[in-house]
């Protein structure tokens, strides 16, 4: 752990995974591999459930593993090691390996659910365990149980120069300009996006997004690959805890300026012939966003004015 994989000319790497429970804690729920990689200026991450306790199944539609049974007794602040496993092991081969992309891997081991420390202390003093609190003045929920975990140091993979050279090349802002592309100014951007739904394809990830730019400076992601996004989703475009990752935006200096978490970033849109291509300021000069269509909302009076 903590070292580098050697260069690979063919075949995906395999890893031997092995975990044993802490004798004084809960049984093991599962072993996961967390993989991160970069492509065309974007950062990606995926969690693989590799081996788990019991005969639970992975949902073929969502790809998610059934949760382990919860044995916690909240009133008594206890749990039972009647579920989970004392030991888990498996050899795992990366099913999505691309020898041309930089990547890292680390292992994460989850225990079964056990009482959170606040639940234990509440039982000790004879009060109801808290379910909410504040952090920096903001109300926050407090879980009654937790899944303790351990993780390894990462293993790094760096492609060889030959592997990098064989990788498909992404489109850059320099490529757009070489093709005669020009960046839209403020007036052109406002005409294109304000009060409209933009359907955009991310050429690096393959995902398609529909983004509503409201007339009052609010932006909302209304669709990810044709489905309504869940809180905390959609993928790497935003990491918000609200449905559709709502955020303020403004058009300034030829850019659509909005937020990624609490950090502002901007998007420039270039017109190349009859096509529009977007480039985000935090993707190292790549232009990854092809504009597929622009349409007004179905109910503009009710929908856009409040955004």
Q: What is the DSSP string of 146-189?
A: E--EEEPPPEEE---HHHHHHSPPPPBHHHHHHTT-EE--HHHH
Q: Give the angle subtended at the CA of 239 by the CAs of 237 and 245, to the nearest 5°.
A: 80
106 and 234 inside one domain: no
User: Mean per-residue pLDDT for 165-181?
Assistant: 94
160 and 22 inside one domain: yes
How high is the mean pLDDT of the chain? 90
pLDDT in tens, 127-150: 999 999 887 787 889 999 999 999
pLDDT of residue 62: 85
C-beta of residue 22 within 8 angstroms of C-beta of residue 36: no
pLDDT of residue 79: 98
- Token representation of residue 176: 């757009």
pLDDT band with cut points at 50, 70 and 90 for residue 259: confident
pLDDT of residue 198: 96
When divided into structural domains, the chain yields a total of 2
185 and 249 inside one domain: yes
Q: Which of 106, 134, 165 delimits the end of a domain?
A: 165
145 and 228 inside one domain: no
Per-residue pLDDT at 247 exceeds 90: no
User: Mean per-residue pLDDT for 237-262?
Assistant: 75
Residues 254, 252: Cα–Cα separation, whole Å: 6
């Amino acid at each position: 752990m903590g070292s580098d994989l050697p260069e690979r000319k063919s075949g995906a790497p395999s890893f031997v995974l092995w975990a044993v429970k802490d004798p004084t804690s809960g049984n093991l729920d599962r072993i996961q591999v967390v993989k991160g990689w970069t492509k065309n200026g974007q950062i990606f991450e995926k969690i693989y459930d590799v081996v788990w306790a019991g005969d639970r199944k992975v949902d073929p539609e969502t790809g998610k593993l059934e949760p382990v049974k919860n044995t916690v007794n909240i009133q008594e602040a206890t749990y039972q090691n009647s579920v989970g496993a004392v030991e888990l092991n498996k050899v795992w081969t990366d099913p999505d390996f691309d020898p041309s992309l930089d990547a890292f891997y680390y292992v994460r081991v989850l225990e079964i659910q056990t009482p959170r420390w606040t639940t234990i202390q509440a039982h000790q003093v004879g009060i109801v365990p808290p379910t909410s609190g504040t952090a920096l003045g903001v109300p926050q929920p407090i879980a009654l149980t937790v899944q303790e975990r351990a993780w390894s140091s990462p293993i790094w993979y760096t492609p060889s120069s030959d592997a990098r050279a064989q990788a498909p090349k992404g489109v850059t802002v320099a490529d757009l300009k070489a093709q005669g592309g020009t960046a839209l100014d403020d007036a052109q951007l406002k005409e294109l996006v304000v009060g409209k739904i933009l359907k955009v394809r991310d050429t690096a990830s393959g995902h398609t997004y529909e983004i509503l730019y409201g007339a009052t400076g609010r932006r909302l992601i209304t669709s990810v690959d044709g489905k309504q996004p869940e809180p905390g989703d959609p993928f790497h475009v935003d990491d918000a805890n609200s449905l559709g990752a709502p955020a303020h935006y403004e058009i300034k200096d030829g850019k659509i300026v909005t937020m990624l978490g609490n950090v502002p970033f901007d998007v420039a849109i270039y017109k190349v012939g009859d096509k529009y291509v977007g480039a985000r300021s935090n993707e190292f000069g790549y232009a990854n966003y092809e504009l597929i269509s622009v349409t007004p909302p179905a109910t503009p009076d009710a929908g856009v004015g409040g955004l």
